[in-house]
Amino acid sequence: MATEKKKQPAKETVKRRVYLVDDHPIVRQGLIKLIEQEEDLEVCGEAGNVPDALAAIRELDPDVILVDISLENSNGLELIKMIDDLGLQIPMLVLSMHDESLYAEHALRAGASGYVMKQAASNTLIQAIGKVLEGEIYVSKTISSQMLKMAFRSSGEDTRMGTETLSLRELEVFELIGRGNSTREIAEHLHLSVKTIETYRAHIKDKLQLRSGTELMQRAIHWVENESHRTSRNGL
């Protein structure tokens, strides 16, 4: 008489844990809904600012961190640098409204493993999360090609006009100057004081060897236009 085979219990899918850092609660809710539709992903926590995020990340030890650039009273790239400096070895993926052509390279230099624009399709984000979880770098094909071309150039100063010397926050201020924002408008946009923005402006002038506020504005406008033209040429 044949013995009845016992059914093997189905293997439970191991879910990779995602931590969200974004200063908009509605955005976080949408991301949670999107991510938890995936069988192998779950959101283990969320925060809207650097101190809360850093404390939770050290406690929860997630598998991947999804972080925006603009956060409450801070900058997501600063959080990335902090986590990288702590040696936590957690892959970090930037999800931001900021133009990829302007910020992707800085994000990778800060310690991020990838960069996705918020305008991208939802399946692009899921694909990016999978890539960085596998230890790979994720940027769009256009940016990947652009960065490869830059690597073969003897100097980036011709197209970047010395901006590689600027810190992440200084570059952000520089871009906003180039887009026609006043010091007060920049302060409000970044949730910083006018005095702090004036300090950043002074540092930018020193690093770019500019003599006046007028020269700073002209250089910033020219840089933004140059980056926009380069983006158009690359089909972004």
Domains and CATH numbers, the chain: 16-147 (3.40.50.2300), 154-233 (1.10.10.10)
Q: Cβ of 180: how many Cβ atoms within 10 Å?
A: 11
Residues 51-101: pLDDT tens digits?
Answer: 999 999 999 999 999 999 988 878 888 899 899 888 888 999 999 988 777
pTM above 0.75, yes or no: no
Per-residue pLDDT for 159 more than 50? no
Residues 103-128: pLDDT tens digits?
Answer: 888 888 888 989 999 988 899 999 99
d(CA 77, CA 21): 11
User: Token digits for 137?
Assistant: 């770098």
Distances in whole angstroms, Cα of residue 95 to Cα of each of 18, 30, 31, 102, 226: 13, 13, 10, 14, 24
d(CA 29, CA 95): 14
CA pseudo-torsion sign 28, 30, 35, 36? positive
Q: Are 133 and 144 in contact (CB under 8 A)?
A: no
Over the chain, what is the mean pLDDT? Answer: 83
d(CA 46, CA 66): 9
